């Protein structure tokens, strides 16, 4: 079992990936929903870190991500536990001790002060961002100025749970827009297409989640709101 298939089933069992009738923040009616806020146990955090670390290692071995990452960075708030869990998994599962840091939403004006917590970024550092999902790229656009203000760093890439393949502010996906705007490549653990291919007419704990009807609705949603990628 590849980590991708295992990760999709993990999201289902954690109640993070669900199917039904939902409305996104943008007002779109969607037949599926990814809510990473539903992770809530230590075992789930442990496993989530392993999946993110697996994605990082896979792309390092392909030469897509540099081996010399100085630190992981998790944008507040959902990126914070992801960065910590991933750093732990990198050390324990892959024998790679890596720093992590994250930002505060509001700058602290006492104690050590500042907006950054954890590893202190240095000029020349290569940083890998870890986030849950990208809808419009808002978190990236908000936190990049903080990263660049902390030190003269290079953002090596962005790791996310699911690529929804949805259009961003124009006719391209938010992921494509971020790459064009900032030169940052995004590496999803899985895409919505891989979710369909993995779960269509296949049981998870005795239940079929994507039958013909659900698949048809998901395909219609992809056709209407998403950018079809080859």
In the chain, the largest separation of any two C-alpha atoms, in whole Å, equals: 58
Domain membership flag for residue 188: yes
Domain membership flag for residue 215: yes
DSSP string, 165-198: -BB-SSSSBHHHHHHHHH---EEEEEEHHHHHHH
Domain membership flag for residue 153: yes
Contact (Cβ atoms closer than 8 angstroms) between residue 46 and residue 85: yes
- Name 111's Cβ contacts closer than 8 Å, sequence gap at least 6: none
- Quote helix, strand, coil % in the chain, to nearest 5: 40, 30, 30
Domain membership flag for residue 16: yes
What's the CATH number where 221 sits?
3.40.50.2020
pLDDT digits (tens, 9 = 90+) for 105-120: 766 554 454 689 999 9
Rg of the chain in Å (alpha carbons): 18
Paired strand residues for 207: 204
Contact (Cβ atoms closer than 8 angstroms) between residue 135 and residue 109: no
Domain membership flag for residue 60: yes
Domain membership flag for residue 192: yes
Paired strand residues for 129: 73, 158
Query: Which domain does 167 fall in, by range?
Result: 3-225
pLDDT digits (tens, 9 = 90+) for 83-99: 999 999 999 999 999 99
Domain membership flag for residue 230: no
pTM: 0.92
pLDDT digits (tens, 9 = 90+) for 127-168: 999 999 886 677 788 888 888 888 999 999 999 999 988 877
Confidence category of residue 5, pLDDT binned at 50, 70, 90: very high
Task: Indicate the number of domains in the chain.
Answer: 1
Domain membership flag for residue 73: yes
Q: What is the DSSP letter of 65?
A: S
The closest of 136, 37, 56 to 94, measured between CA atoms, is 56
Name the residues annotated as catalytic: 108, 110
């Amino acid at each position: 079992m590849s980590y991708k298939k295992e990760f999709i089933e993990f999201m289902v069992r954690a109640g993070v990936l669900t199917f039904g009738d939902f409305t996104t923040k943008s007002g779109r009616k969607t037949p599926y929903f990814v809510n990473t806020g539903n992770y809530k146990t230590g075992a789930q955090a442990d496993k989530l870190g392993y999946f993110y670390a697996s994605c990082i290692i896979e792309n390092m071995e392909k030469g897509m991500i540099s081996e010399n990452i100085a630190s992981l960075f998790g944008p507040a708030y959902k990126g914070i536990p992801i960065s910590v869990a991933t750093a732990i998994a990198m050390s324990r599962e892959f024998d790679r001790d890596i720093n992590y840091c994250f930002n505060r939403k509001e700058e602290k004006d006492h104690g050590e002060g500042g907006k950054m917590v954890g590893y202190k970024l240095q000029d020349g550092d290569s940083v890998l961002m870890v986030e849950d999902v990208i809808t419009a790229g808002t978190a990236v656009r908000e936190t990049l100025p903080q990263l660049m203000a902390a030190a003269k760093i290079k953002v090596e890439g962005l790791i996310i749970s699911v690529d929804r393949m949805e259009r961003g502010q124009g006719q391209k996906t938010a992921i494509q827009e971020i790459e064009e705007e900032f030169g940052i490549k995004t590496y999803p653990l899985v895409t919505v297409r891989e979710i369909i291919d993995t779960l269509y007419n296949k049981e998870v704990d005795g239940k079929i989640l994507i039958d013909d009807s659900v698949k048809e609705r998901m395909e219609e949603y992809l056709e209407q709101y998403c950018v079809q990628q080859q």
